[in-house]
Amino acid sequence: MNMVINLVLALQILTALVMIGLVLIQHGKGADMGASFGSGASGSLFGATGSANFLSRSTAVCAAVFFVCTLALAYSSNERPKASAGSILDRPSTTASAPAVSASGAAAIPGAAIVVPAIAASAAPTSASGAAAIPQK
């Protein structure tokens, strides 16, 4: 399956590059507009609209192949394995253990040289009037 996805991705990149080249090679319809205002013999305001030539048909084919490849890649990336255990919310959580607290009241972060001081419950400022106290529910 992985090889098929790689082939579709390579085909998408190739068709995108070919389509860019074909669009840059084509003669724009806006170039005929200047000719219609005095310097050329254009049939209508935006130029004659004849049948599609080789460049426009090959651009349309490249665009169709590009969109099919895009849809195939989007479908394959959204495909989920059938044997999954359900939602990620149904799986048990893996929590890390709490950092160890030393006798001085400081919590050391494992693997680091930084020591974080522990905050005591009695460190919160309180006044006699209760102005700084946070109301408890």
* pLDDT over threshold 70, residue 39: no
Residue type, 53: N
User: What confidence category does residue 86 fall into, taking pLDDT thresholds of 50, 70 and 90?
Assistant: low
User: What confidence category does residue 24 fall into, taking pLDDT thresholds of 50, 70 and 90?
Assistant: very high
d(CA 4, CA 18): 21
Is 62 within 8 Å of 17 (Cβ atoms)?
no
**What average pLDDT does range 1-12 have in this prediction?**
92
Task: Determine the length of the chain.
Answer: 137
pLDDT value at residue 22: 93
Q: What is the pLDDT of residues 41-68, one digit of tens each?
A: 545 555 555 567 898 899 999 999 999 9
Per domain, the residue ranges of the chain are 2-78
Q: How far is CA 92 from CA 84, 96, 99, in A?
A: 14, 13, 21
Q: Is the dihedral of CA 22, 27, 31, 33 positive or negative?
A: negative
